[in-house]
Chain A
């Protein structure tokens, strides 16, 4: 297997998620399938995914970059409309360090 349980544990730690043992087993197997699928795609393209990136990506020139002009921001109400805000801040209960 390309992906081990330890890999999944490490990834879970990096993204601050916790899994039960049973979930870990399941995710390890699923992740392995996903990676295998990506490998299949990669092998079917001459030059691999690097090739896709360099062929497909257009290069923009300096002059085409965004000019430094201020555009209106959203209101505080709008920014916080999907969350529970506190005094204009986003607020989070501290569950993990």
Chain B
């Protein structure tokens, strides 16, 4: 394709506050329809919206984590449009004085994707269309959102995915949202146009609305870029419009005519006072931020010396990282702690969600006590793994499961005897190893492990086997 992708992403994130943005109704997910509602969030005449402090705090946190400038004075605006999901016929949002501006997210390549702005606003209700009727549930109406608008700095589907992934991880880390795309607590709109390489002018853009998974962001961009390229190649022109990505057909199709931003007739909401947040408060919020995920990743690799693959498995789940660091603080070694988390604890966790929750029955201190036994070579890693599983199942400490013979390990004489037995019992495998088929050695490992209940030191066994076989 002889075109360059110019892409920007608008991301809506539901904030994990207890109450809605302008009233005290709960933000709890689900519930019977229209039971988390009051006069404010159903837009009854005479009701008065009052801004939730936590929403401002969380938005500032997001801004700081994304390297933004925080505007110390801000106000809310009315964005007018008529649709039944919006009971007031306007959404309370921010127009010309957003809370945060001019930040960035850095990609692995070092390229920075600019963040134009972050503003706070209210979510709309949920509509169900059935049998010629529209049924409305306003439980979600007034749930606080931040909208994060990127600059059109993204130039490929891969960059877009990486941007969204980093954004998601960062927001989860700072604890302002669970960012579950499937459940709608994070939704992305992708703006996309094409231009010839070297052109400085932007082409006509389309907007793909409400994408609800990271891989769909990537696929939708590929599909839309191909669609636009086909039109341009055939001498046609792109129509500015809103599109929808259909994951079943992996294609994009128009939704409705794009309204100009003027049509929203923004004006300052006269019901809500302007608000200020002083520098001191901003600094207090900055100080409350945890170590950000990608700073942590760098530290795990460069300071702790973890291999990239292991570091990446641990850093991305905040609770796992906290557990890992807790174990290190108790004196566990980096290597054994990391390997036991990734190799043993994660084997009980199939889904991303389980790792995210990291709901386990042992403390970091109990885990560290076990790791230290392995560090001091009092038990081998196989015993450590087995013990860890029992600890996870029971919530009991390591000493409950480690027998004196585990601590003693297998003597060198016993190990040599077992290696000889393993070779005698598997002559063909031994021949295979001699002729260079390295994998055949696993047969003998199996024999030794079975005889020792997994307690043999596998490295020692390998060296001995090779010596005895003469490979």
Contact = CB atoms under 8 A, between A and B. Distances in A.
B268 interface: yes
Contacts of A15: 82, 89
Contact of B18 (A63, A70, A80): A70
B56 A89 contact: no
B134 A94 contact: yes
Contacts of B33: 76, 87-89
A58 to B, nearest CB: 6
A87 B35 CA distance: 12
Contact of B82 (A14, A72, A74, A88): A14
B38 interface: yes
Nearest to A17: B82
Find the residue from A59, A85, A90, A91 having the highest chain B CB count within 10 A.
A90
Interface in A38-94: 53, 57-63, 65-76, 79-80, 85-94
A86 B276 contact: no
A72 B82 CA distance: 28
Contacts of B363: none
Nearest to A88: B33
B276 A90 contact: no
Contact of A89 (B39, B135, B263): B135
Contact of B19 (A60, A62, A69, A87): A69
B21 to A, nearest CB: 10
Interface string B231-268: 00000000000000000000000000000000101001
A16 B32 CA distance: 30
Interface stretch (B46-54, B174-182, B445-453): B46-54
Contacts of B278: 61-62
B129 A76 contact: no
B25 A71 contact: yes
Report whether over half of chain B's contact residues are helix, strand or loop; otherwise say mixed.
loop
Contacts of A75: 35
A73 B392 CA distance: 41
Interface residues of B, number: 48
Nearest to B80: A14
Nearest to A75: B35
B32 A60 contact: no
Interface in B117-165: 128-129, 132-138
Given A69-B24, A73-B37, A59 B274 contact: yes
B81 A73 contact: no
Find the residue from A70, A79, A85, A89 having the highest chain B CB count within 10 A.
A89
Contacts of B82: 14-16
A92 B84 contact: yes
Contacts of A79: 34-35, 37, 42, 138
A74 B274 contact: no
A16 B389 CA distance: 63
A91 B135 contact: yes
Contacts of A65: 50-53, 56, 275
Interface string B27-71: 000001111111100100000001111101100000000000000
Nearest to A15: B82
B281 A62 contact: yes
B398 to A, nearest CB: 41
Find the residue from A53, A71, A73 having the highest chain B CB count within 10 A.
A73
B221 interface: no
Nearest to A57: B274
A60 B276 contact: yes
B225 interface: no
B26 interface: yes
Contact of B134 (A62, A63, A91): A91
Interface string B308-341: 0000000000000000000000000000000000
Contacts of A70: 18-19, 24-26
Contacts of A74: 37-39
B194 interface: no
A62 B136 contact: no
A72 B17 CA distance: 16
Contacts of A63: 53
A46 to B, nearest CB: 20
Contacts of B18: 68-70
A90 B32 contact: no
Contacts of B34: 76, 79-80, 85, 88-90
Closest 5 CB pairs of A and B: A71-B24, A65-B53, A89-B135, A68-B54, A90-B136
5 contacts: A60-B274, A65-B275, A71-B23, A73-B37, A86-B135
Interface of A: 14-16, 53, 57-63, 65-76, 79-80, 85-94
Given A15-B89, A74-B39, A76-B32, 6 more contacts: A58-B274, A63-B53, A69-B18, A71-B38, A87-B33, A91-B134
